[in-house]
Amino acid sequence: MSNKLKRISSFSVDHTKLEPGIYVSRCDVVKTPIITTFDLRLLRPNIEVPIEQNALHTIEHLGATFLRNSDKKDYVIYFGPMGCRTGFYLVFNDCTNAQEIRELVIKMFEFIRDFKGEIPGATPEECGNYIDHDLALAKTYAIDYLSEITKNCKTEYDYLPSKN
């Protein structure tokens, strides 16, 4: 491998200016159709305190359960947290526009906000860290994110560097 590695696109976004929203992070052509990675940004990087791990884990479980049971289940490839804990990636097949999935994302976070009962997949047999959950805190993050994306949802990166 070369000493000069190509900078990946997600590191080219100015994280000091990111706000909560739904962004297209990348599109990959794997034969057909296009695979799109959406950036579901809940918090402003390096400004707000990252999502608490136990709430992040609960959102992941509830979000994945919702998506895999939605009418778009055949298009969902992956839903999971960002390492920086400021949001989630949603990898989608055959969709390249953040506006197209906006309603699905709103419904998913409403599902999380309104969820009652046992967290799906939160047993020792189903999860590698089954006790690391916080439903109440996950609901708080869902409420805050819904407030952001229903009032002024950004859907395009405004902070990409110039190609100089």
pTM of the model: 0.83
Q: What's the pLDDT tens digit per position in 15-74?
A: 788 889 988 877 766 777 788 899 999 999 999 999 999 999 999 999 999 999 999 988
Using CB atoms within 10 Å of the CB of residue 131, give its burial: 0 to 12 exposed, 13 to 18 middle, 19+ buried. Answer: exposed
User: What pLDDT sits at residue 150?
Assistant: 84
Q: How far apart, in whole angstroms, are the C-alpha atoms of residue 98 and residue 101?
A: 6
Q: What is the distance in angstroms between the CA of the first residue and the CA of the last residue of the chain?
A: 25
User: Domain spans of the chain?
Assistant: 15-151
Q: Which CATH architecture has domain 15-151?
A: 2-Layer Sandwich (3.30)
Q: In this structure, what token pair is assigned to residue 88? A: 């989630």
Q: What's the pLDDT tens digit per position in 68-104?
A: 999 998 899 999 999 999 999 999 988 778 888 899 9
List Cα–Cα distances, 161 to 5, 6, 23, 93, 111, in angstroms: 18, 15, 16, 27, 36
Kindly tell me the sign of the dihedral angle through the C-alpha atoms of 44, 45, 46, 51. Answer: positive
